[in-house]
Chain A
Amino acid sequence: MSSTTDPRGFSKAFLTANAWLVYLFFYAPIILLVVYSFSGDKLVGRWGGFTLDWYRAFAKDDNVQGALWVSVQVAIVSTLVSVVLGTLAALALERFKFRGQKVFDALLYLPIIIPDVTMAVMLLMFFSQFFNVIDSVLGLTLSKDISTVIISHIAFNISFVSIVVRARLEGMDQRLEEAASDLYASRWKAFRFVTFPQIIPGIAGGALLALTLSLDDVVIAQFVSGPGSTTLPVYVFGLIRKGVSPLINAVSVVMLVASVLLVMLSLLAQRNSEDKDQKVNDENEDDDQEVSSGSSSLSEMSIN
């Protein structure tokens, strides 16, 4: 960026101050949460001296650990599957014309718009009837377990992933793909070497969004989980009735640290893959601006 477009003077000070204010706003509750995970008092908000007791309690609590493990499994599997399905859907909608496209388009928006609780009860009814049908047709007795939670999370995550990836595809310069086809590259090759490297940031953004949504869902998981597949948010929701002890803060801090590590790793991985993309693009002797600006990985977490 040229220096003539840089904000100066008052506007620069205003922008900087606003940015710090927003960060303070984002982190105020997080700081509080971390601090009180070390507090000796059971009441969050009343400091009771430094202790690691809540972390020890977490290490010993089978219910919390079990719920956390269920949540992690659900989040990872549902994210992986919805990333694949969501990306394919985005490609179909942005790069092809097919019959039924408009219906599909509308269907993809619905899981974003539907109220949580409505989706929860409808899936509850559906699974029970579905299992009855399976039972009478195939003689197979199924029951709700972790897989029904995963299926339900995929059902809303596909939409979020596809919207993020579509935003990326929309903004992309199609001349590249066209050039590839003109050079008689197969559609697959054009995708593999031109399109795919460019939408990686969009896919990564969609994956992070899906992961966050899966880890935050309470209502749907409550209704579609079976015996032994209580997720962490559902467990925490119940615990609140018994009083929010800093144990929950400790669990949150552990999750926070784990997810920060995960992000660091994925950022590193992205940096590596972008280096490779750069090479591919160099080989294609293309100087398109969009490609290089595509390296701002998280920018594509937008859902525009």
Chain B
Amino acid sequence: MKSFKIRVGIGLVAFGLVAASCGSSSDGASSGDGGSPEVAAGAECTPGQTDGDLSLYNWTEYIDPELIVAFEAEAGIKVIESFFDSNEAMQPIIMAGNSGHDVIVPSDYMVSILIDAAEAGETSVMKLNKDAIPNMANLDPAFAKGLPYDPNGDYSVAYQWGTTGLGLDLSVVGEDVPHTWGLIFDQELAAEYGIAGSATLLNDPRETLGAALKYLGYSLNSTDEAELAEATALVKEATSWLTAFDSDQYDELLVSGDTTLAHGFSGNFIVQFGEAENPDNYTYFVPDEGGTRWVDNMMVVADAPHPCSAHTFLNFILDAENGAALTNWNFYASPNKAALEFIDPEVLEDPIVYPTDTSKLEFIGDTGTYETNFSDAFIEAKG
């Protein structure tokens, strides 16, 4: 029977692949595929050294093209850019190995997942060779040490940071609107300010359930099932007076008048407000109950083909003027202390970019296997 042979053939090939994958994940440290933190391929790199064209895997439009040109001129290598649109889509691509990418720019919680995986011997990211990145000294001390997701800064270098909060159309809600998540989660408030039927929440379980948890006075990293159930009920109720869950166009919907309130990321709002007919009509704030603060970070992939070029690129971005150029271009805050003097004063004084009180802000942390509870709860809330 040929059909039987075919099936056996498929089975054998698959068995081989699975066996190979078991092998590489159980003894990754010795398999030499770059999966182990001990084998730091960048250990030998010196400042400014390059070992081939750099492959940068970044969010779309997250770096000024002129900075790329400047780096190419300075380092004498080319930059090959590839783009991702979510941490969750990027992670498996890196962890499958052989991605060909050198530098990635994951967000905080994804940094901690990647570090955990690296320390468990999976193909993930490599420990940085700090000697090859002298500009690390430029980092604000708050970003160099003590970050919850990479306490010693051994694996990651902060790229930019921002907050998640609410954007509002002041021409509808008025100037003296209270700064609370209740605007979206409290039906009476939502009705009073004309927000009901004209608001969007992020289509993201952690952000949106996190906002509800904050409104209820809990930590957005709570792993208490009762608290999550409360937050879920709140989002479920709000769904009935919500325009949409949207993570891409919330800022445009707000400025085009389709919505009055939008839940989203600080920098996107600034850019969009700048293009509105009357920018003064709009405001952005993180509600008083607190909200998300996030940091995107540069990391070097464990099996990066060009680890030295990668280190040189990290060093280049950490340069004071280059760091400032980033912020002046996309209006997200810079973790680079030395860069502050080169940032446009207008941007520096904008409370949306640099919030004055950061005490109520919280990072989204990885909750391990509890993550699926968040995504299940979110689907339940949406119905």
**Contacts A42-B275, A243-B251 given: A238-B85 contact, CB under 8 Å?**
yes
**In the complex, A17→B101 CA distance in Å?**
55
A225 within 8 A of B: yes
A143 to chain B: which residues have CB within 8 Å?
A: 98-100, 305
CB A180 to nearest CB in B, in angstroms, measures: 29
**B335 CB to nearest A CB, Å:** 21
- The answer on a CB contact under 8 Å between A130 and B251 is no
> Does A296 have its Cβ within 8 Å of any Cβ on chain B?
no
A55 and B367 CA atoms in complex are apart in Å by 46
Which residue of B81, B247, B271 is within 8 Å of A228 (Cβ)? B81
Q: B249, A244: Cβ atoms under 8 Å?
A: yes
Contact of A45 with B by CB under 8 A: yes
Residues of B within 8 A of A136 (CB): 20
Shortest CB-to-CB span from B4 to chain A, Å, is 9
State which residues 199-250 of A face B: CB under 8 Å.
222-223, 225-230, 234-235, 237-244
Interface centre among B16, B83, B101, B247 (most CB of A within 10 A): B83
Which of the candidate stretches B57-65, B145-153, B165-173, B214-222 sits at the interface with the other chain?
B57-65
- B263-305 interface code vs A (CB 8 A; 1 in, 0 out): 0000010011001000000000000000000000000000001
* Pair A222/B60 contact, Cβ less than 8 Å: no
Interface bits A115-152 vs B (CB < 8 Å: 1, else 0): 00000010011111111110010000011110000000
A28 interface residue, CB < 8 Å from B?
no
Cβ B84 vs Cβ A238 within 8 A:
yes
Which one, A46, A99, A126, A222, contacts B3 given CB within 8 A? A99
Is B226 on the interface with A (CB-CB < 8 A)?
A: no
Complex alpha-carbon distance, A99 and B3, angstroms = 6
B96 close to A (CB within 8 Å): yes
Q: Is A262 part of the binding interface, using a Cβ–Cβ cutoff of 8 Å?
A: no
B254 to chain A, nearest CB (A): 11
When the two chains form their complex, are residues A103 and B89 in contact, meaning their CB atoms are under 8 A apart?
no
Q: A234 to B81: give the CA distance in the assembly, Å.
A: 13
Q: Is A102 an interface residue (CB 8 A)?
A: yes
In contact, B248 and A240 (Cβ under 8 angstroms): yes
B47: interface (CB < 8 Å): no
Contacts of B85 in A (CB 8 A): 222, 237-238, 240-241
Those of B85-102 within 8 Å (CB) of chain A: 85, 89, 92-93, 96-101
CB distance from A30 to the nearest CB of B (A): 20
Interface string of A86-100 (1 = CB under 8 A from B): 000000000000111
The total of Cβ contacts below 8 Å across the A-B interface reads 118
Q: Which residues of B contact A145 (CB under 8 A)?
A: 100
> Known: A144-B99, A227-B101. Is A243-B3 also a contact (CB below 8 A)?
no
* Contact indicator B20/A129 (Cβ below 8 Å): yes
Q: How far is the CA of A235 from the CA of B252 in the complex (A)?
A: 19
B residues 241-271 touching A (CB-CB < 8 Å): 247-249, 251-252, 255-256, 268, 271
Nearest chain A CB to B71's CB is how many angstroms away?
15
Contacting residues, chain A, for B97 (C-beta < 8 A): 128, 131-132
Nearest CB in chain A to that of B60: its residue: A238
For chain B residues 317-345, which have a beta carbon within 8 Å of chain A?
Answer: none
- Asked whether, in the complex, the Cβ of A132 is within 8 Å of the Cβ of B20, the reply is yes
Residue A269, interface by CB 8 Å: no
Complex interface residues of chain B between 61 and 86 (CB less than 8 A to chain A) = 61, 65, 80-85
Least Cβ–Cβ distance between A237 and chain B, in angstroms: 6
The distance from the CB of A232 to the nearest CB of chain B, in whole angstroms, is 11
**In the complex the two chains form, is B98's CB within 8 Å of A235's CB?**
no
Min CB–CB distance B299 → chain A (angstroms):
16
- For A225, what are the chain B residues with a Cβ–Cβ distance below 8 Å? 82
Bound complex: CA of A242 vs CA of B60, how far in Å?
8
Is B83 within 8 A of A235, CB to CB?
A: yes
Q: Is the Cβ of A241 less than 8 Å from the Cβ of B100? A: no
- CB neighbours (8 Å) of B16 from chain A are 133
CA distance A132 to B101 in the complex (A): 16
Report B36 CB to chain A, min CB distance, Å: 15
Residues of A contacting B256 in the complex (Cβ-Cβ under 8 angstroms): 43, 45-46
Q: Are A126 and B17 in contact (CB under 8 A)?
A: yes
Q: 1/0 per position for B160-198, CB-CB distance to A under 8 A?
A: 000000000000000000000000000000000000000
In angstroms, how far is the closest chain A Cβ from the Cβ of B8?
Answer: 12
Q: Are A124 and B6 in contact (CB under 8 A)?
A: no
Q: Which of A126, A133, A227 contacts B55 (CB 8 A)?
A: A227
Encode contact with A along B1-21: 1 for CB under 8 Å, 0 otherwise: 111011100000000110011
CB pair A132 B83 closer than 8 Å: no
Residues of chain A within 8 A of B7, CB atoms compared:
103
CA distance A238 to B84 in the complex (A): 6
Complex partner residue of A99 from B1, B57, B61, B80, CB under 8 angstroms: B1
Q: Are B83 and A144 in contact (CB under 8 A)?
A: no
Residues of B within 8 Å of A63, CB to CB, are: 65, 81
Nearest neighbor of A145 in chain B, beta-carbon distance: B100
Residues of A within 8 A of B (CB): 42-43, 45-46, 62-63, 98-100, 102-103, 121, 124-133, 136, 142-145, 222-223, 225-230, 234-235, 237-244
- 24 cross-chain CB contacts under 8 A: A43-B252, A43-B256, A98-B2, A99-B3, A100-B3, A121-B92, A124-B96, A127-B96, A128-B96, A131-B97, A132-B20, A132-B97, A132-B98, A133-B16, A143-B99, A226-B100, A230-B81, A230-B83, A238-B59, A238-B60, A238-B85, A241-B60, A243-B271, A244-B249
